[in-house]
Amino acid sequence: MLSEKTKFDGVLAELREQGLKVTVCSVLNETWYIKDDGLFTGYIASVAELLELKSENKLNIRGIKSLG
């Protein structure tokens, strides 16, 4: 079974392949800032949320937007 870090590295790579910019928002809270095209378009998601989207095959900007 893949480690949590290895799984998350795959998530980051997949998001970046889709043209999204992904940066750390908070190391302490394990949150990431995902930016789409557009001047003010950005979303914050936790590691757990992104891994869940990956497992549901919804790891894309629409899936991230649906987090709220």
Q: How far apart are CA 44 and CA 24, in angstroms?
A: 9
Going by C-alpha positions, the residue among 1, 24, 14, 7 that lies closest to residue 63 is 14
Using CA atoms, how far residue 39 sits from 20, 28, 35, 36, 42, in Å, is 13, 27, 9, 9, 9
Q: What is the pLDDT along the chain (68 residues), one digit of tens a residue?
A: 567 778 899 999 999 999 999 999 999 999 999 998 877 789 999 999 999 999 999 999 999 999 97
Residue-range definition of the domain harbouring residue 51: 4-65
pTM, two decimals, is 0.86
Number of domain units in the chain: 1
In this prediction, residue 33 carries a pLDDT of 95
